[in-house]
């Protein structure tokens, strides 16, 4: 309970730091504020904070540089969402209009770029050394490589499950991994225990992969309102895990993909629920691996309990 209260206080400071950035993002401060008001649970910022507290413990007040880093990670995530919405032509996110529907594609792209530039600028101010800053910059390439990997397979019926996993490893999971590693590095002056660093990186990677698989499964759950349109990936020729598993189960399914018949694809998945069940199982396997890595770490009990609780809540929701 004490750690939960401390984490909640830390996240309030992160929110304050994020809102303080509005002045640097004129003339689109209103759109930036809208992004913040419509933001999610700040999972990535939580990972930065919790892994920083692996070394800092239950200090009453977390170091300001860690709060700043956690806010920067969230800014990076926001920028990728703005760009994604432009690329996808998305009109709604979390039941609110996306930025480009208000200011247009060009301005939305510039706003995303400006947020990215602030991420780099602020991180350079708190970086303990050049290696830390190099890692902060390289995460952009990892995310973009993942997005490009996904894009290269658009409408490719022969796309493999391995290609899909590699794409989401970059486009989504890399930032989860990066969040864990950033917290550890900042709390040790970029001199963390190497075994702990590897375990934390693996924890974040497997959590991120499971997160994206679960999101892709949810795209086919029309009964659940997630605040964004459903079935857009399949309509755009992006074949996620349930689709790829269904294709491997039935040769006739490839024909449905080639005809781009979204309704027929949905009917097939409803009639053959094994593809969704197997997708959920794979997501849970990644959660189980994240849990194994968590228990391999020599970290304070309170931090371990919060991270385990995060995994349990997420697993129950799959």
Helix, strand, coil shares of the chain, percent, nearest 5, are 75, 0, 20
Residue 68 confidence (pLDDT) above 90: yes
Q: What is the pLDDT of residue 26?
A: 84
The percent of residues in the chain predicted with pLDDT above 70, rounded, is: 97
For 109, the token pair is: 């792209």
Mean of pLDDT values over 284-291 = 98
The answer to pTM > 0.85 is yes
The count of structural domains within the chain is 1
Residue 210 confidence (pLDDT) above 60: yes
Mean of pLDDT values over 184-196 = 94
Alpha-carbon Rg for the chain in angstroms: 20
CB atoms within 10 A of CB 158: 10
CA angle 182, 185, 186 (to 5 degrees): 85
Could you tell me the residue range of the domain that residue 125 belongs to?
2-317
What is the DSSP code (8-state) at residue 173? I
Residue-wise pLDDT for 230-280, tens only, equals 788 998 999 999 999 999 999 889 999 988 889 999 999 999 999 999 999
Q: Mean pLDDT check: name the lowest of 55-64, 78-87, 232-241, 264-273.
A: 55-64
CATH number at residue 215: 1.10.600.10
User: Phi/psi of residue 207, each to 5°?
Assistant: -60, -45
User: Phi/psi of residue 96, each to 5°?
Assistant: -125, 155
Residue 119 confidence (pLDDT) above 90: yes
Residue 193 confidence (pLDDT) above 90: yes
For 50, the token pair is: 């919790």
Residue 54 confidence (pLDDT) above 80: yes
Distance CA 64, CA 98 (A): 31
Residue-wise pLDDT for 135-160, tens only, equals 999 999 999 999 999 999 999 999 99
Q: How far is CA 136 from CA 87, 151, 262, 288, in A?
A: 24, 24, 39, 28
Orientation of helix 64-88 relative to helix 130-152, angle to 10°: 20
**Long-range own/partner contacts, residues 274-282 (CB < 8 A, 24 or more apart):** 274/245, 274/249, 275/242, 275/243, 275/245, 275/246, 275/249, 276/217, 276/220, 276/242, 278/245, 279/213, 279/216, 279/217, 279/241, 279/242, 279/245, 280/214, 280/217, 280/318, 282/213, 282/241
Average pLDDT over the chain reads 93
């Amino acid at each position: 309970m004490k750690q939960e209260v401390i984490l909640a206080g830390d996240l309030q400071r992160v929110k304050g730091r994020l809102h303080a950035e509005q002045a640097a993002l004129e003339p689109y401060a209103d759109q930036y504020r809208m992004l913040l008001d419509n933001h999610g649970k700040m999972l990535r910022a939580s990972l930065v904070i919790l892994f920083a507290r692996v070394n800092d413990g239950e200090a009453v007040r977390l170091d300001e540089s860690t709060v700043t880093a956690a806010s920067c990670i969230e800014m990076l995530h926001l920028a990728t969402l703005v760009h994604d919405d432009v690329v996808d032509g998305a009109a709604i996110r979390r039941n609110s209009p996306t930025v480009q529907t208000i200011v247009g594609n060009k301005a939305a792209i510039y706003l995303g770029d400006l947020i990215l530039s602030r991420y780099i600028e602020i991180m350079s101010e708190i970086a303990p050394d050049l290696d830390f800053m190099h890692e902060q910059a390289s995460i952009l390439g990892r995310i973009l490589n993942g997005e490009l990997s996904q894009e290269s397979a658009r409408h490719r019926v022969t796309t493999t499950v391995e290609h899909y996993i590699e794409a989401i490893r970059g486009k989504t999971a890399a930032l989860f991994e990066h969040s864990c590693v950033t917290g550890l590095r900042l709390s040790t002056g970029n001199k963390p225990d190497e075994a702990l660093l590897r375990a934390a990186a693996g924890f974040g990677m497997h959590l991120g992969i499971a997160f994206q698989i679960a999101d892709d499964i949810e795209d086919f759950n029309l009964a659940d309102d997630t605040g964004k349109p459903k079935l857009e990936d399949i309509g755009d020729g992006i074949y996620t895990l349930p689709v790829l598993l269904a294709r491997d189960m039935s040769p006739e399914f490839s024909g449905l993909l080639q005809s781009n018949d979204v309704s027929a694809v949905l009917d097939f998945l409803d009639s053959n629920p094994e593809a969704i069940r197997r997708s959920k199982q794979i997501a849970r396997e990644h959660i189980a691996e994240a849990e194994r890595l968590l228990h391999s770490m020599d970290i304070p009990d309170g931090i371990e309990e919060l991270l385990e609780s995060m995994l349990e809540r997420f697993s129950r929701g799959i």
